[in-house]
Structure 1
Amino acid sequence: MDMDRLLAMSRPELDQLFRTSPAGEIPRGEGRGTVLLARGTKVSRAAAALARLLAWQGKVFAPDGKELRNRVTPFGLRAVKAEVYRDGSRLDGAECTVLDYSRTSLLAHRIRDEIRRIGPGVYLGLVYWGRRRVLDFVLNFPDADSWATRA
């Protein structure tokens, strides 16, 4: 999946892509994150770059796939832990990988991310604050071949 295309997609288009994508393997290792802030606008790329520079660079999944830590701040600190498991998506009820912060983070305890594989080593994510969807993101795993064949 081409990043320029993803950055230009509207929320309904991203929803359709998520609905038609499989859960995929639970990721392992480091995924480079891109926030999809201003979908469909000319500022999408700049907004995503600024978010990566100042706030969030991605997620680092444990080798066993049961937890992760986000890479945050301009220094890429590994913080904000989440539990990782399979469950039904809030969007459509079909299986997805859930990134659950409710028992692992005081800061993000109301956050639930859901991801599905949209291409080799590429995952589309939805972010919920409580029951309200607030954001979308993409994770790219350049080393996906090494863990996908073992999953």
Structure 2
Amino acid sequence: MAYTVAQLLKTPQKELDAIFTAAEPGPIPEGQADGTAIIAPGTTFSDEIAKMISLFAWQGKVFDPKAGVLRNRITPFGLNAIVAKVYKDKSWLDGKECILLDYSETSLVAHWIRDEIRLIGPGLYLGKVYWDKARLIDFALQF
């Protein structure tokens, strides 16, 4: 099934987890992706929260698979900052392979953050964010 970011915002957490666990990691992406934070998924607030975060805090990620890194696009000015290493590893959610976005050695600001992504449709990745071992939110990356 092909998904859209709008659909993901309306999808309850349990179903987002099922979509993620059913997906393969796909290739490590290349280039700029528009990001959407998925907070309070499946509620009427999810879309509005995503818009506010995109406007003021986080717009997406820029991947360089040859170097094995990414930079987050942040602030209203779209600065490329907060670097992560990118590689494949086992997901904390289900133990299967995912693409890991690892900030532990590259960022003073986000060293406790771990993102995991999997390809769920053409140019669309679904991600999970962890703070230490605690799950925080989901996000979508659209290339």
TM-score by length of 1: 0.91
Q: How far off its partner does 1:77 sit?
A: 0.4
Residue by residue over 1:56-88, the C-alpha shift from the partner in whole angstroms, topping out at 9 and shown as x without a partner, is 000000151610000000000000000000000
Does residue 1:49 correspond to 2:48, yes or no?
no
Residue by residue over 1:3-41, the C-alpha shift from the partner in whole angstroms, topping out at 9 and shown as x without a partner, is 221001111111000000010010000010000012111
Look up the match of 2:115: 113
Look up the match of 1:38: 40
1:24 to 26, 33, 49: 26
Look up the match of 2:69: 67
The runs of 5 or more residues in structure 1 that have no matched partner are: 142-151
Alpha-carbon RMSD across the aligned residues, in angstroms, is: 0.9
The runs of 5 or more residues in structure 2 that have no matched partner are: none
Does residue 1:76 correspond to 2:46, yes or no?
no
Question: Partners of 1:105 and 1:11 in 2: how far apart?
Answer: 28
> How many correspondences in the alignment?
141
Name the amino acid aligned to 2:4: D
Instruction: Answer whether contact 2:65 2:86 (CA < 8 A) is retained.
Output: no
TM-score by length of 2: 0.96
- Percent identity over the alignment is 54
Name the amino acid aligned to 2:100: V
Question: Partners of 1:3 and 1:137 in 2: how far apart?
Answer: 9
Task: Return closer, same or farther for 1:108/1:6 CA change in 2, 3 Å cut-off.
Answer: same
Runs of 4+ in 1 over 3 A off after TM superposition: none
Does residue 1:125 correspond to 2:127, yes or no?
yes
Look up the match of 1:15: 17
Instruction: Answer whether contact 1:26 1:65 (CA < 8 A) is retained.
Output: no
Q: How far off its partner does 1:2 sit?
A: 1.9
